[in-house]
Amino acid sequence: MVIGNGARQSCICPPPILRGMRKQVVILGPPEQWAPLLRDHRQLIDITFAQPLRAVPRDDSVFSLFLVDLLSGRYSMLIATCPMAIEAAVAMARKRRMLDRLREAVARTELVVIGERTAQGAARNGLTVSSIAPEATTDALIEHVNRSPHRGAVALLRSDQGSERMVRGLQAAGWEVEDVPVYTLLLDEGEGMQALLDRIEDGEVDALVLPTPAHAQAFMLQLQERCGDGAPRMLEGITIAAMGRETEEWLEAFGVKVDVRPERAEAKMLLSALTDRLGV
């Protein structure tokens, strides 16, 4: 999914046991998704954010051909998997001076999105949303889309490193799937991530929240670059919270035990389950 290379070195030891009243929680992801949910928890835990990834629009001929097909009415449905998919598509259409035509074409087509933030991003950019998948997981999206009584061509707007499970699940239900990568994910090894790795080594983190498989993989790659094969041991004593089964599977593949996974892949439920686990 995310490719990263770098020299590895062994960390000296696992983090020490943490002391103190307020728990130190780090969320690996954009703060805007979580900020509205944190008001009820700020009195009990200290929350910081770190970004192991950065998203860059993928502006190429694939998107140009998608626009041609969209304007010709080829697609029965469009699927946007996250806010970045919306932002990247809008930015590339605007660059081509075709944003108004994109809006008109989307209004004539069924647009399905994952999550309220993606729906809000679409509305902010003048794109009409037909429905919202109930959870931010591949399985939930497939189930939601497959409830449609008709079948046809569907354009999947997402990262160029998206899971093949989504494509296979839609194809198995009779959809003709066009994968349209509108952005790419790159490792962000900036000061924020280096500071987080230092804190982990120093035993200054009580809990880590990993919202997607991409965040999980990017984080583990950077931890492995720092600590080599001892990376999973560096997380012993830290509560690991994962959003969704796919994220949990990625972490387990790296040898990391997941302590918290909410019943539904929702940020609010994850935070609630995490605070219960931390006893705050």
pLDDT score, position 161: 85
Separation of alpha carbons 93 and 82, rounded Å: 17
The residues near 254 (Cβ < 8 Å, ≥ 6 apart) are: 216, 220, 224, 231, 232
Alpha helices by DSSP H, listed for the chain, are 31-34, 61-71, 83-95, 99-107, 116-124, 138-146, 164-172, 191-201, 213-227, 231-234, 245-253, 267-278
CA distances from 225 to 4, 100, 195 (A): 9, 45, 14
Please count the residues of the chain: 280
pTM across the whole model: 0.77
pLDDT score, position 5: 44
Handedness of CA 137, 255, 26, 83 (dihedral sign): negative
Beta bridge partners of 110: 77
**Cβ 79 vs Cβ 141: under 8 Å:** yes
CATH topology agreement for domains 23-52+188-278 and 57-186: yes
For the domain made up of 23-52+188-278, give the CATH fold.
Rossmann fold (3.40.50)
The residues near 100 (Cβ < 8 Å, ≥ 6 apart) are: none
pLDDT score, position 115: 80
pLDDT score, position 31: 82
**Cβ 113 vs Cβ 84: under 8 Å:** no
Q: 243: which 2 tokens?
A: 């959003």
3-state secondary structure of 208: strand
Q: Give per-residue burial for 56-66: e unless 16+ CB within 10 Å, then b.
A: ebbeeeebeeb
Chunked mean pLDDT (size 10), the chain, 280 residues: 45 51 88 74 83 92 96 96 93 97 96 88 95 83 90 95 88 95 93 94 95 92 92 95 91 95 87 89
pLDDT score, position 8: 42
| φ/ψ of residue 39, rounded to 5 | -60, -40
| φ/ψ of residue 163, rounded to 5 | -70, 140
* CATH no. for 57-186: 3.40.50.10090
Q: In what order do the strands lie in the sheet with 23-28?
A: 45-50, 23-28, 207-210, 239-242
Which residue in 138, 189, 173 sits closest to 159, CA to CA? 138
Map out the domains of the chain as residue ranges. Answer: 23-52+188-278, 57-186
Helix axes 138-146, 164-172, angle to 10 degrees: 20
pLDDT score, position 12: 54
